[in-house]
């Protein structure tokens, strides 16, 4: 039971030891502990401020990044539009040129066909005239071989001349 009910001497020495401990702690440990806590608090505040600044910088960079992406998309769309217009222009020009060239070729072929047709007709006419002359020559030879036929032919021709 002595441990449950302490004696005055034990309480006195316990209080003296506690007061001495408080004085020693106040003199040697309290200020360094408080300054360490204060320093730690300041470093935490600085870290929080730096984190807030970093967050703001990150938000600014994100917004700037988004603006750059929008500009890049707009530039890409503009370039694609210009390329499409250029392609359409080149295709249209090539189509027009092909049609012009085709029309020229068709006209040239038509003229060539017409020339070939005229040449063929001239050649046929030449052959027909040559054949006609040859036939006429043969007919006249056969008519002129006989003396009586010659006299009859001359008589007929003279009758035609007199009538005109």
What would the pLDDT profile of 21-31 be if each residue is shown by its tens digit?
Answer: 999 888 888 88
Top-confidence residue, 35 or 138:
35
Which CA distances in Å does 3 have to 7, 10, 14? 9, 10, 14
pLDDT of residue 74: 96
pLDDT of residue 49: 96
Which CA distances in Å does 97 have to 82, 105, 108, 111, 120? 22, 12, 16, 21, 34
pLDDT of residue 2: 61
pTM over 0.75: no
Which CA distances in Å does 96 have to 23, 87, 89, 103, 157? 106, 14, 10, 10, 69
How far apart CA 129 and CA 134 sit, in angstroms, is: 8
Provide the percentage of residues in the chain whose pLDDT is more than 90.
58
Average pLDDT, the chain: 88
How far apart CA 36 and CA 121 sit, in angstroms, is: 123
How far apart CA 22 and CA 29 sit, in angstroms, is: 10
Top-confidence residue, 83 or 152:
83
Cβ 153 vs Cβ 143: under 8 Å: yes
Statement: residue 116 has pLDDT above 80: yes
Per-residue pLDDT band for 59 (boundaries 50, 70, 90) equals very high
pLDDT of residue 163: 53
Statement: residue 104 has pLDDT above 50: yes
Q: What's the farthest any 2 CA atoms get from each other in the chain?
A: 197
pLDDT of residue 162: 61
């Amino acid at each position: 039971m002595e441990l449950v009910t302490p004696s005055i001497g034990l309480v006195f020495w316990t209080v003296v030891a506690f007061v001495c401990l408080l004085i020693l702690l106040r003199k040697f440990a309290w200020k360094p502990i408080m300054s360490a806590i204060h320093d730690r608090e300041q470093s935490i505040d600085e870290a929080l401020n730096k984190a807030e600044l970093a967050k703001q910088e990150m938000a600014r960079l994100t917004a700037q990044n988004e603006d750059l992406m929008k500009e890049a998309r707009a530039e890409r769309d503009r370039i694609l539009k210009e390329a499409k217009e250029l392609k359409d222009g080149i295709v249209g020009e090539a189509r027009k040129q092909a049609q012009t060239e085709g029309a020229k070729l068709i006209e040239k072929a038509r003229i060539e066909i017409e020339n070939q047709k005229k040449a063929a007709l001239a050649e046929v006419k030449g052959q027909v005239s040559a054949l006609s002359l040859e036939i006429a020559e043969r007919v006249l030879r056969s008519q002129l071989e006989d003396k009586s036929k010659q006299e009859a032919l001359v008589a007929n021709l003279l009758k035609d001349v007199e009538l005109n």
